[in-house]
């Protein structure tokens, strides 16, 4: 027997690819042809991640390699509770869990780094701090090199070469064009005679490709795409110690050198020179004044394999130049991404922010935190009626802005300092015409068995025909509440489990009804009671016979 999954309603069950109920046994992959997996002991804490092109704002459908690093990476598991730190992402969505039996709290959070790489995109990472059980959604923005966002510029030079010993035959210089926001650029010079080697010490030979990228500190799009973000893990600070901190940036540079065989540069026998322009609109947080000649900024290198930073020294600002920009020049002997940052004091947890005007069916809010006049940005999904910001910059005035699941601005509040005591209120207002609450109940049954199989799984959605998946919420124990959708409109829902993706499409009508065409004998709308809509799935014998 095979379920007919042509119906969007039918796909709502394998939508999760995970049907969960707390029992004493576990049955995995009972019927691969059904793409239906039963897991009888759901994880209490799950993480859901979607990956977005920072220029187009569309979900990235290219393959993404995802790796988990950091102090608590051993607590990350797949949805079968198997410890793993590697995931393959095909549709821009992935979900995984925190090891069963671990219950994160604000005093004992689970912390790790999400490291993402994709062909044609700049490697990036995201710091994750899970401080409670339940579902935790994240969005990771990635920069496509051939289509970067405003404030990000790339330049490539393939004219250089190296001999069989890795010695550069002539000076190589590459400079980006001025960015669209602040008109600043970055430059690198590799001197003739420099020997370039890879991580293993093997020389790079033949034709060389040098690529430099510049990220402006004035562009919101560039700031939200900064690899590693601004709440950072420092592998080695000024004292050579591990540290967590907040960065306020004057700009970021990516640098990659490869030879004709694809070997990647790691070390240089003599220093190469990097110069980055700094827009005059940049404010120095240490003085509270616009940047000027003589100001000093710390230099940090970024490890794209671990998502951590290392202190490399301090540079002095010169200028202004004829174009009005200041600049800072430094020399390096190893390849990395580079950031000019002021390391800023922090509080571990910010003031409590109470969110008024939302409801459990409205879904999560996208919360942005942006200081006024400084290069810092933080964005996250918040699914409760309150939040606190981890590793908050102390003493910076910030705007906290809330967006709904369609990225419509629904509220904001100004805070002079995130590290105060007490509580502040963020009030949100949704459109009056939004779709009113509907509560979906999904239950699987086996003939002759007193079992109810109810799924627990994260779900994303998008208006049908569009390219950006957004977080909808969790089906929890077979229940999903939804409201504040635009009507009339058709929506497609998706979930991910163990490398598989499943979709369902629904029509939300102006009279608040939900239409699901092509109903099947295997799945039926059992009944409608007010705002509650109940659906049943008749599980096949191939599954039911394995259940006691």
The residue count for the chain: 548
Count of CB atoms within 10 A of residue 38's CB? 23
Q: What is the pLDDT along the chain (548 residues), one digit of tens a residue?
A: 222 222 333 333 333 333 333 223 333 333 333 333 344 456 889 999 999 999 999 999 999 999 999 989 999 998 878 899 999 998 899 999 999 999 999 999 999 999 999 999 999 999 999 999 988 999 999 999 999 999 999 999 999 999 999 999 999 999 999 999 999 999 999 999 999 999 999 999 999 999 999 999 999 999 999 888 898 989 999 999 999 999 999 999 999 999 999 999 999 999 999 999 999 999 999 999 999 999 999 999 999 888 899 999 999 999 999 999 999 999 999 988 999 999 999 999 999 999 998 877 777 899 999 998 899 999 999 888 899 999 899 999 999 999 988 888 999 999 999 999 999 999 999 876 567 788 888 777 777 777 777 767 788 889 988 999 988 888 787 888 888 788 888 888 887 755 567 776 778 887 767 766 544 445 566 677 777 878 776 766 655 676 55
* Domain 8-41+436-544 part of CATH 3.10.450: no
pTM for the model: 0.85
Alpha-carbon span 414 to 430, nearest angstrom: 20
Decide if 8-41+436-544 and 152-344 have a common fold: no
* Domain 46-147 part of CATH 2.60.40.1120: yes
Alpha-carbon span 202 to 165, nearest angstrom: 9
Alpha-carbon span 160 to 171, nearest angstrom: 8
CATH number, domain 152-344: 2.60.220
Whether residue 190 contacts residue 168, with contact meaning beta carbons closer than 8 Å, is answered with yes
Alpha-carbon span 385 to 105, nearest angstrom: 17
The domain segmentation of the chain, as residue ranges, is: 8-41+436-544, 46-147, 152-344, 348-430
Alpha-carbon span 351 to 489, nearest angstrom: 39
Here the tokens at position 523 are 């799945």
**Which residues fall within 8 angstroms of residue 85, CB to CB, at 6 or more apart?**
67, 68, 69, 73, 76
What does the DSSP assignment read for 69-88? Answer: ESTTGGGEE-TTS-B-SEEE
**Fold category of 348-430 in CATH:** Immunoglobulin-like (2.60.40)
Backbone φ and ψ for 32, nearest 5 degrees, come out as -65, -30
386-387: strand order across its sheet: 386-387, 352-356, 423-427
């Amino acid at each position: 027997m095979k379920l007919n999954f042509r119906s969007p309603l039918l796909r709502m069950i394998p939508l999760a690819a995970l049907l969960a109920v707390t029992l004493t046994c576990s049955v995995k992959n009972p019927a691969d042809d059904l793409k239906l997996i039963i897991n009888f002991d759901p994880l209490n804490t799950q993480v859901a991640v979607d990956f977005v092109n920072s220029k187009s704002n569309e979900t990235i459908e290219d393959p993404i390699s995802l790796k988990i690093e950091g102090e608590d990476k051993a607590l990350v598991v797949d949805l079968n509770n198997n410890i793993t730190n590697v995931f393959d992402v095909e549709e821009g969505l992935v979900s995984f869990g925190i090891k069963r039996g671990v219950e994160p709290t604000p005093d004992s959070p689970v912390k790790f780094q999400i490291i993402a790489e994709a062909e044609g995109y700049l490697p990036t990472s995201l710091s994750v701090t899970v401080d409670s059980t339940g579902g935790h959604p994240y969005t990771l923005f990635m920069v496509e090199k051939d289509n970067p966002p405003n404030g990000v510029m790339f330049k490539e030079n393939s004219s250089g070469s190296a001999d069989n010993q890795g010695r550069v035959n002539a000076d190589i210089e590459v400079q980006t064009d001025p960015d669209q926001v602040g008109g600043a650029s970055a430059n690198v010079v590799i001197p003739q005679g420099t020997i370039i080697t890879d991580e293993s010490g093997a020389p790079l030979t033949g034709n060389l490709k040098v690529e430099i990228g510049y990220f402006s500190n004035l562009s919101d799009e560039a700031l939200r795409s900064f690899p590693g973000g601004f709440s950072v893990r420092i592998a080695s600070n000024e004292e050579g110690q591990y540290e967590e901190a907040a960065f306020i940036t004057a700009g970021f540079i990516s640098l990659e050198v490869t030879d004709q065989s694809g070997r990647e540069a790691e070390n240089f026998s003599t220093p190469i020179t990097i110069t980055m322009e700094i827009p005059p609109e940049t404010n120095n947080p240490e003085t509270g004044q616009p940047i000027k000649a003589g100001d000093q900024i710390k230099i940090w290198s970024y490890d794209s394999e671990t998502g951590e930073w290392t202190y490399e020294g301090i540079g002095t600002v010169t200028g202004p130049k004829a174009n009005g920009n200041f600049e800072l020049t430094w020399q390096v002997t190893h390849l990395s991404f580079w950031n000019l940052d002021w390391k800023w004091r922090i509080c571990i947890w910010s003031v409590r922010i109470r969110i008024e005007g939302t409801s459990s069916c409205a879904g999560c809010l996208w919360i942005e935190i942006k200081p006024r006049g400084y290069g810092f940005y933080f964005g996250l999904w918040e699914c409760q009626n309150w939040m606190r910001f981890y590793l908050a910059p102390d003493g910076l005035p910030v705007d906290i802005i809330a967006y709904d699941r369609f990225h419509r601005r629904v509220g904001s509040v100004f805070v002079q300092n995130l590290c105060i005591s007490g509580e502040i209120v963020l009030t949100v207002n949704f459109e009056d015409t939004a779709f009113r609450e509907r509560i979906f109940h999904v239950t699987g049954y086996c003939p002759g068995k007193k079992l109810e199989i109810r799924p627990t799984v994260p779900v994303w959605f998008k208006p049908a025909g569009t390219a950006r998946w957004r977080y909808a919420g969790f089906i929890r124990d077979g229940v999903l509440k939804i409201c504040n959708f635009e009507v009339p409109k058709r929506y497609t829902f998706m979930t991910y489990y163990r490398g598989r993706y499943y979709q369902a499409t629904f029509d939300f009508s102006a009279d608040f009804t939900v239409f699901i065409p092509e109903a099947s004998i295997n799945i039926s709308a059992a009944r409608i009671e007010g705002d509650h809509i109940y659906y049943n799935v008749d599980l096949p014998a191939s599954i039911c016979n394995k259940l006691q």
